[in-house]
A and B are shown apart, each in its own frame.
Chain A
Amino acid sequence: MAAGLRTVILLSFVLAVGFLLIILSCALWQNWLPLLVALTFVLAPLPNALFSHCGSDDLNYEGSGPIDLGRFITSIIVVSGVALPIILAHSEVINPKACVMSIVGGGLVYGTILAYSAAFSQEDAEYE
């Protein structure tokens, strides 16, 4: 229980640092376009979460189409989250430092979501 609590506190700190970096990258240059990166990385786990329940009833090992589609969309969204600030920085819409800060912050946010789901899905499995 204590380990779980410590994990939650650590993950929430990392999440806060990630959002802080993204918001700083917007606010320091008065250009709020990098905020799209936060939106992208928050949306990234959604397709896998939705489609993972589609093919779970049939037990054959060969993966089904909806699961593949979910993974495909997840991959597209993650790459878009990294590519968007690079492109904006390339065409000098945002500062290169803002680009780096928003990518690092987005990576922290997405890593937090991944770590949270990985840490607490196993504990759910123990109860069932």
Chain B
Amino acid sequence: NYDPRRVCLNPFPEISLGKHRRTAGVYLAGALFALANWTFLDAAVLSAHAHSPWGQPDQDPPVHVSFVDWIPGICSLLGYLVITLIDKDRVRGDEGFGDSRAVWRARLFLFIGFALMAGGLAGSVTVLILKYILNGFPDQFTYYGYANVSQSVALMLSAIVLWIAQSGGSEYEYNLTL
């Protein structure tokens, strides 16, 4: 049932873990969310207590986590907020949900949310390459950039898990209506 008018399809497979699927998914999403932010905070704390590079005890650390490193994470967090705040039934576009403008607007905001998350991921990769890899810092400091990327990736995973957990929970309703 392909509908060319639909921009954001819902292509995730239906995974059935029984009636605890929703609970487990929400817990997993929260854990991934916390893990993502703590990964980046680890880099930030490490940078604030940074030692000099290995083998050169009299040099200052060449690079620190600055505001540039925080921007991708903030974009990803905003996108996460937008995606989680959208009513999943609106996006699916079932009839009988008021006017069709609401569905259109919900899809627009969903698109903005996914664009913010993808922008965060792209920005973190950009920071990793431009700020850390191209300048040839030791692994000790390139870790800040990798932590940034893994924060964005884990936030995306968390959003996907939360979406699956919350959108697929209507089998009971199907049984009632069918």
Contacts and interface: CB of A to CB of B under 8 A. Distances in A.
B30 interface: yes
Contacts of A75: 26-31, 33-34
Interface in B116-160: none
> Interface SS of chain B: helix, strand, loop or mixed?
helix
A68 B28 CA distance: 11
B41 A74 contact: no
A63 B165 CA distance: 10
A72 B26 contact: yes
Most chain A beta-carbon neighbours within 10 Å: one of B23, B28, B34, B38: B34
A68 B45 CA distance: 31
Interface string B16-41: 00010011001111110111001001
A71 B162 CA distance: 12
A11 B32 CA distance: 30
Interface of B: 19, 22-23, 26-31, 33-35, 38, 41-42, 45-46, 48-49, 162, 166, 169-170, 172-173
Given A63-B23, A88-B45, 4 more contacts: A60-B172, A62-B172, A87-B46, A93-B49
